[in-house]
Structures are given as C-alpha cells and as structure tokens.
Amino acid sequence: MLHTLSIGELGRNLNSGQISSVELTRHFLARIERFNSALNALITLTAEQALAAAAAADAARAAGGQGPLLGIPLIHKDIFCTDGVRTSCGSRMLDNFIAPYDATVVAKLKTAGAVMLGKANMDEFAMGSSNETSYYGPVKNPWDRTKVPGGSSGGSAAATAARLAPFATGTDTGGSIRQPAALTGVTGVKPTYGRVSRYGMIAFASSLDQAGVFAQSAADAAIVLQAMAGFDPRDSTSIDAPVPNYPATLSAPLAGLKIGLLREFFDGLEARNAALIHEALKIYRSLGAETVEVSLPHLPLSVPTYYVVAPAECSSNLSRFDGVRFGYRCENPKDLLDLYTRSRGEGFGAEVKRRIMTGTYVLSAGYFDAYYLQAQKVRRLITDDFRAAFAQVDLLIGPTTPTPAFDIGAKINDPVTMYLNDIYTIGANLAGLPGLSLPCGFVDDLPMGLQLIGPHFSEAKLLNAAHLYQEATDWHRRSPHGYE
C-alpha cells in the first residue's frame, strides 16, 4: 500500500512512473476522508489546491524536474501561515484569519515540490501538552482513541502515525514535537534554535519556538529537514551557517560515539519505561557506541524555569490579538476598552488566558527581578550543564516522556500535572539544542519514545544515530491497528 512506503520509496515510484503525484495525493486524501472524522487531526483540508499542486509536480517531473520531495504530500501544522488558506493556530481568535503569505517553511517545502493536503489541529497557540486546548476539539491518538496524542503538535503527530500523509510539520517550544512523536509512535525532530526559519510561524515564545518535522523514520526526516533548513534574512533569529547533507551521513558508523545516559531522567521513571531505554542502549553498544552516565544537576529546574520564561514571552506576543487589526472581534463593543476586553476574553481559551496572566504577572514591576530575571539565570545554568556534558559525550539519551499516552480529560483540569509531561523535553529548548524522539517499544500496548539530544547544529549526528537504531529495530514500522 502506498501509505506504508517511505518518502524515498515513494520518490522512486514517482520517478519510475509507477504512480503519479495526482494518484498519490488522491490516495492520501481518501485516507483523510476515511479516518479524520474519528481522529480530528486536521482543521482544514485543501483538496483542490493539493490536486493542482500534484498535477504541477507531475508536469515538472515530465519536463525533467527532480527532487526527493517533488510530488510528495504533507500536512502543515496550523501555526504556519499559508497564503490564501485559513491559519487558525487552533484558536477562535484566528478562526477567520486567511494568511496573506507563506511562512518560510511552507515556501521552502512548496519550492521542493511537496504537496500540502491540509492544516493540522493543534493546542491553541501551541499552548498545551495533550492537544485538548484546541478550539476545534481534542485530537485522538490513533493507537487508542480514548488517549491523547500529546501536544501541542498532536494533529501533525496523529496524522503521521495514522498514515494520513508521509510527513507533517510541527513546532517545538517545550517538547511539542518530541512528546507527541513519542506518544504516537513516530519520529519527531526538533532542530537547533535558528536552524529552521521562524518567519511566518505564529509566535508563542520567541526564544524557544522552533519548527521541525514528523515522519515515519529518521531517514524520511532527514530528507524533509534538508529542504526546511537554512538561513532566512527575514528571521532575525535565523543562523547563517551551512546546512549539511543530512541524508548523505545517515549510515556513518557509530564506532567511537560516546552516548551519555542522563541520570536525572531516570529519577522516578516507571520501571517498564526505563527497561526500554536500557534495551536501546544495548543496541547502541552493539553498533559500536560507548555509553556513560552523566549528570545535569540543574535540569530538574527546567519545568519551573520554562513556565516563567514561556508565559512571559507569550503575554508579549499575544498582545497583538486585540480585535482591532485581524482575528476575532466581539459583537457590538461599547467602547475601545470593551472591544479589547471582550474580544480577548471571548477569543482566547482557558489555557491561553492562564499563560498570558502568568506571563504578565512575572513581568510586572516588583516581580520581574524575583521571577523572570531569576528564571533567566537558571536557564543559563541549565545551558552550562549541557555544555559541560557535551565536553564528555557526543549525544545524550533518555526517555522522551515519563508515561505513555494518558486518557483524554485525565489532566486537563490539573495544569501542574499536565506541565510535568514535558519534564524530559524542556531542557533542550531552554538551551536551544537539537533533539529527536524515535519509537523504542510499547508499554500497555501504547508506544514509547527514546530521546536523543545533541550539541548545537548536530542534527546530522542525531539523525545518523537514530537511523542506525531504526535499521536494527522495527518499532518505527509498527502501525496502529486499523490504519495499516
């Protein structure tokens, strides 16, 4: 079946003429029509535009055009602006917003010939760990539709896991690619901060947000990241550094690679989850890698640090949504203050309001030094811990999440418990480091993820290590029952 093939295999079939991009696109549109109503993974379907883009890809190939993504379908997280297509950010506030331009990520993948099938559901303004805060309702996990898929990129993760598209884009502010990738059994990559442009990506926390990719495998993710990465002069946080050829180094031997086992990640970790990580370490040792235990003493402070820094930045970024220029506007405002108050009160959901209020508080006079400034100091200590660890090892390894996917509704009314789902992922965002999650087994018939973190701009090494692990295992080839 076409939906079980890798991006490389699909590309070879397209090049040989066995299938056309139009046929491939129709296949995935049919799967979306069949499965999306139960999963709620997509907010917007762009079937007409997709078929037109697929026909253009077929014409380009017939004229001699080439490229690993030419004619390959994808789904974009609904946080990326897409010219002429609704970009909602999972919020009532932007339910009627039609983006007037493409985000750089969208433009780059469009230039590569990829075919957009639609826009994926997400936690409102990327604020959430379960994809339950969306204005459009929760996304269901295809492994068990009573469970969450993780968040905030839960729609992208669920769509990839259910084979509704070969790959999907996502964003990661505190684990929002890696955590849902782990809970849905797919590969998710968060690049180094600045490696992929943030232009046209609606901001949550500007010093933490990073675009990335969901795919079935590290090999597929390498192909997509190759097209997404690179300097963008329109993004002041973009890094002007050469982009390696990620697919070319996927099979480099791991002999001599030093992998650090993060001691802090195993404090309180459930035994069955820990056993999966130790099984993965055995495989890495068999591939020639050396494993050593390392400690990041300030890492346990990452969650409270993040939940000061991120809300502070979100309170600033979301001040533009005021009912005046674009987005939701309340009915019949009495005056300007009423317009602001009711538009924001009615347009934002509970979690977004909670974070705006928290951020405004920690930035206010009298509390800035006590909270925000202290959080930034701890952030530096965490960054220094990572730097010290990478002086000893090449990569760090540990679990992506403390538990498998939990029940929908189980934690939505307990913010602190919900925030702790990101306990293993937040540190990489605070330090701006690349990380990825890949499937490593099951607990209670639900997928679990193995997390790899590297020093800045080590995406090639991360993808290489993930690819060789996936060549030695078949966890990434497992499909949820009913979606095979």
What pLDDT, on a 0 to 100 scale, did the predictor assign at position 466? 98
With 80 as the cut, is the pLDDT of residue 416 above it? yes
Specify which residues 171 forms β-bridges with: 211
**pLDDT higher than threshold 90 for residue 269:** no
Task: Give the span between the Cα atoms of 58 and 477, in whole angstroms.
Answer: 28
Mean pLDDT of 6-23: 97
- Tell whether 188 is covered by a domain: yes
Name the pLDDT band for 189 (thresholds 50, 70, 90).
very high
Into how many domains does the chain fold?
1
The whole-number average pLDDT for the span 11-34 is 98
**Looking at the predicted structure, is the pLDDT value of residue 400 above 80?**
yes
285 assigned to some structural domain: no
Flag whether pLDDT at 137 surpasses 90.
yes
Helix, strand or coil, per DSSP, at residue 431 = helix
The C-alpha atoms of residue 117 and residue 138 are separated, in whole angstroms, by 20
pLDDT exceeds 90 at position 1: no
Between 6-15, 266-275, 315-324, the lowest mean confidence (pLDDT) is in 266-275
Mean pLDDT of 44-66: 97
Q: CA-CA distance, 218 to 215, in Å (whole number)?
A: 7
pLDDT 10s digits, 341-353? 999 999 999 999 9
pLDDT of 420 higher than 80: yes
CA distance 126 to 140: 17
**What is the pLDDT of the chain when averaged over all its residues?**
97
CA distances from 402 to 131, 193, 238, 262, 412 (A): 17, 24, 32, 14, 17
- How much is the pLDDT for 105? 98
Looking at the domain assignment, is residue 406 inside a domain? no
Dihedral sign from CA coordinates of 83, 10, 43, 105: negative
On whether residue 423 sits in a domain, the answer given is no
Give the per-residue SS3 of 167-221: EEEEECCCCCCHHHHHHHCCEEEECCCCCCCCCCECCCCCCCCCEEEEECCHHHH
pLDDT at 243: 97
Residue 276 has pLDDT above 90, yes or no: yes
76-108: per-residue pLDDT in tens?
999 999 999 999 999 999 999 999 999 999 999
The answer as to whether 201 is a domain residue is yes
Pairing outcome for strands 115-120 and 187-190: unpaired
Q: Does 77 qualify as catalytic in the annotation? A: yes
- Assess whether pLDDT exceeds 90 at residue 30: yes
Give the pLDDT of residue 53: 98
Asked if the structure places residue 408 within a domain, the reply is no
Q: Which one from 20, 21, 77, 130 is the annotated catalytic residue?
A: 77
- If residue 381 lies in a helix (H) or strand (E), which one and from where to where? helix 374-390
pLDDT of residue 308: 97
Q: Please check the confidence at residue 268 and state whether its pLDDT lies above 80.
A: no
Residue 212 domain-assigned (yes or no): yes
CATH number at residue 191: 3.90.1300.10
Contact 122, 154 (CB under 8 A): yes
Range of the domain at 73: 2-257+435-477
If one counts every other C-beta atom within 10 angstroms of the C-beta of residue 64, the result is 6
pLDDT tens digits, 424-474: 999 999 999 999 999 999 999 999 999 999 999 999 999 999 999 999 999
Q: Hey, what are 423's tokens? A: 């306990």
Averaged over 150-179, what is the pLDDT? Answer: 98
Residue 393 lies in a domain: no
Q: Which residue out of 20, 152, 153, 437 is catalytically annotated?
A: 152
Tell me the C-alpha distance between 169 and 177, whole Å: 9
Nearest to 266 by CA among 244, 298, 295: 295
**Of residues 129, 134, 153, 176, which has the active-site annotation?**
176
Q: Rounded to the nearest 5°, which phi and psi values hold at 186?
A: -125, 175
| Calpha distance 149→330 (Å, rounded) | 32
Output the pLDDT for position 433: 98
CB of 419 closer than 8 Å to CB of 304: no
Q: Angle at CA 316, nearest 5°, toward 312 and 320?
A: 155
From edge to edge, which strands make up the β-sheet containing 258-262? 42-45, 115-120, 73-77, 167-171, 211-215, 187-190, 435-443, 446-453, 395-399, 258-262, 290-294
Please tell me the predicted confidence (pLDDT) of residue 239: 97
pLDDT of residue 388: 98
